[in-house]
Amino acid sequence: MQSITGPVVDVIESVGEVGVGGLIALETVLPPIPSEVILPFAGFAAADGRLNAPLAWACATVGSLLGAGILYWFGHALSYERLYHLAGKPWFFLFGQKDLDRGFRFFDRHGSVVVLVGRFVPLIRSIVSVPAGMDRMPLPRFLALTALGSGVWNAAFIALGYRLREDYEVVEQYMGPVSRGVLVVCAIVLVWLVVRRVRDRRAGGAEAEEAEPFHPGADRARGADHGSDRARVRAED
């Protein structure tokens, strides 16, 4: 903890509210840097008169948006089609094309809820931006959901640090096991996918992949087409 807390404190002490935003942007891209350390200390510094609490919150939320935006564009550049192609390679053991297809069909239907709720889950709040970019979620909606979820998260932890003052590290003591628990669950899921993939290939019964990949946003596009068709019919009537 001290190896992480020390540099965090030094940056915030040196740069102030902008340092809070920069650290949160970095934390969003590199999850091992915990916001559970950054934000409570910012609250403590605000209670001690060294930071402006509303400005620290605003900078933290802008930092969340910047970090999430970087991951969104990474997902957008990677694209579902490229990942689908990789998942069909014999050497790609993480998951199959059908696993990817099922996951993105779910995200295509419930992506807004996933992005919003994901902002409250350690590690997931970083990862969730990548499939949002791959799914071509409209950028204004993505930014709005990210600002809402991250804004609430940032406000809660800054407020806790403000209230606890010099005992702000208590927050990380309680949140640390939660973060590690989420990491363990993600690792277990990843190992399970790899083991299942290897087992299927050794058995010679690798799943038959679909001829064409799922196209992210297809349901939204079909809905828009249906809407335009209905509008055209009404205009003709």
**Tens digits of per-residue pLDDT, 106-133?**
888 888 999 999 888 888 888 899 899 9
pLDDT at 211 over 70: no
| Residues 31 and 123: beta-carbon distance below 8 Å | yes
- How far, in Å, CA of 54 to CA of 21, rounded? 12
pLDDT at res. 127: 86
- Entry pTM: 0.76
pLDDT tens-digit series, residues 152-191: 999 999 999 998 887 777 777 766 666 677 778 777 877 7
Q: Which of 149, 154, 148 is nearest to 17 (CA)?
A: 154
pLDDT at 221 over 70: no
Opening angle at CA 110, ends 105 and 112, nearest 5: 130
Question: Where exactly are the structural domains of the chain?
Answer: 2-222
When pLDDT is cut at 50, 70 and 90, the band that residue 14 belongs to is confident
CB–CB of 47/161 below 8 Å? yes
Cβ neighbours for 26, distance < 8 A, ≥ 6 positions apart: 33, 63, 67
Is 200 within 8 Å of 90 (Cβ atoms)?
Answer: no
